[in-house]
Each structure stands twice: as C-alpha cells, then as structure tokens.
Amino acid sequence: AQSVTQPDIHITVSEGASLELRCNYSYGATPYLFWYVQSPGQGLQLLLKYFSGDTLVQGIKGFEAEFKRSQSSFNLRKPSVHWSDAAEYFCAVVPHGGFQKLVFGTGTRLLVSP
Amino acid sequence: GAVVSQHPSWVICKSGTSVKIECRSLDFQATTMFWYRQFPKQSLMLMATSNEGSKATYEQGVEKDKFLINHASLTLSTLTVTSAHPEDSSFYICSAPGGAAQPEQYFGPGTRLTVT
C-alpha cells in the first residue's frame, strides 16, 4: 500500500547534539517530498522540500534532508539541536498524479534535553 | 511568501449547534484548498478538497452532510461543522497550493474546535 512511514514516534536529543529523523515512503514513482514542523497548537511550517535535482536539500532553521532513491527515504538532519527545535515533525509527500493532495506520515515528536 | 489565515483560531460550541470556520489566502488566489483534521497527538488527515466554483470532494469516510464546504471565491473557503458533537472536537487546518499544479502548499494556523 502507498504510505509514508516515520518509524520514530518520539526522539529525545540533548541540546547541541545532532539529530536525524527518519522518513520512508512507498510509492511507485518518486513523489514530491516535504518536511513540516508543528509547534503545539500551531499550524505547520515548511522546513524544506524536494522535487528533483540535488539530493541534499537545505532548509530553514539549519535543517537539511537527503533523498535516497534506493532506500525510498528522505531523512531530516540537523547538526546541532537547539531547545527551540522541540516540536512535532511531519514528513509528507504529494504523489505524482495525486492532485496536489499531501499525504502525511504519523509524525515524530522531538524532545530536547538540557 | 504566501499567507493563509483561518478564523476563528479557537471556538467552543454546544452540542447540536453549527460552527463555521473560514480559510483565506491573503496574497494569492487559490482555486483549490484542502481541509485537514488533527486529533491530539496524531497526524493530519485530509478531509476534503475545496474547489472554487464547484462541489467539494470528500475523502472516504468523511460525512459530506456534516462537514459542509463552500469555496465562495478565489481567496475564501469555509468549513461548516453541522450539528456538532463532542467527537467533532479537533484541530482543523486548511491549506492552499501556491499555484495551479504546484505541489507545495501553505497552511493556515489552524482552528481549535471544542464541542461541549
């Protein structure tokens, strides 16, 4: 079945440590790929996106993501986490031919410890 | 950048009443808008696609008579929750694509609905 998987429900990282959030998708053709962040009670903010081209994508707030076709993955990374990065992170895709409909992963809650 | 607003940001209503939520694209036109529902600590689930000038299309399992969607203009879509019940309490978020055939979407800040 076509889906977006975020295998980690919660992740706790020490402030200043590196971060990697995992995302895998199962679609026949590579979809458009996105990472969004949501603070409690807030809407979604786009961190970065991948449509084509360079597989390492730079986003806002120091985040980057790498698209790996062979692994059907689009993992999000940050070299040094700040306490303000604590939030819910969603990987999402728009399948080709999907009429712009976003399909979201289940989300990963990031906790940052002092 | 493209901005999407929602109103109200939160609303409390009594069971059996109806509530209308507005979604506006402030600096761009949107022939299509999307409505999502998010329960606490869960992901976003697409409810329906709002189409300017035509009927909305609903995802499987979403009651179209309960969640009325009207796309009145190129910048406004409304979601009306009719005869609301406590189980309809949720966070409702709208989004709009940046342009025709554009996969990127811009999200509103969301509306917290509590039905008592």
Report pLDDT digits (tens) over B7-40. 999 999 999 999 999 999 998 999 999 999 999 8
Cβ contact (<8 Å) for A102 and B95? yes
Confidence of residue A71 (pLDDT cuts 50, 70, 90): very high
- B97–A105: do the CB atoms touch at under 8 Å? no
Report which DSSP code applies to A9: S
- B contacts of A103 (beta carbons < 8 Å): 46
Mark yes or no for CB contact B46/A102 under 8 Å: yes
* pLDDT above 80 for A109: yes
Chain pair A-B, CB pairs under 8 angstroms? 53
Distance CA(B80)–CA(A16), nearest Å, equals 45
| Shortest CA gap A111–chain B (Å) | 14
Q: What percent of chain B is predicted at pLDDT more than 90?
A: 82
Residue pLDDT, tens place only, A5-62 = 999 999 999 999 999 999 999 987 888 999 999 998 888 999 999 998 999 999 999 9
User: Each residue of B93-106: pLDDT tens digit?
Assistant: 999 988 766 778 89
Question: Using 50, 70 and 90 to split pLDDT, how confident is the model at B61?
Answer: very high
A41: left (phi over 0), alpha (psi -120 to 50) or beta: left
Are B39 and B29 in contact, with CB atoms under 8 Å apart?
no
Nearest Cβ partner for A44 among B32, B41, B107:
B107
With cut-offs at 50, 70 and 90, classify the pLDDT of residue A98: low
Q: Which of A43, A101, A106 sits opposite B43 (nearest CB)?
A: A106
Average pLDDT along chain B: 93
- Split at pLDDT 50, 70, 90, the class of A95 is confident
Cβ contacts of residue B57 below 8 Å, gap of 6+?
B48, B49, B51
Residue B49, chain A, CB below 8 Å: the answer is: yes
Closest partner residue to A43 among B32, B46, B109, by Cβ?
B109
- Which residues in chain B have their CB less than 8 angstroms from residue A87's CB? none
Of B44, B91, B103, the CB nearest to A104: B44
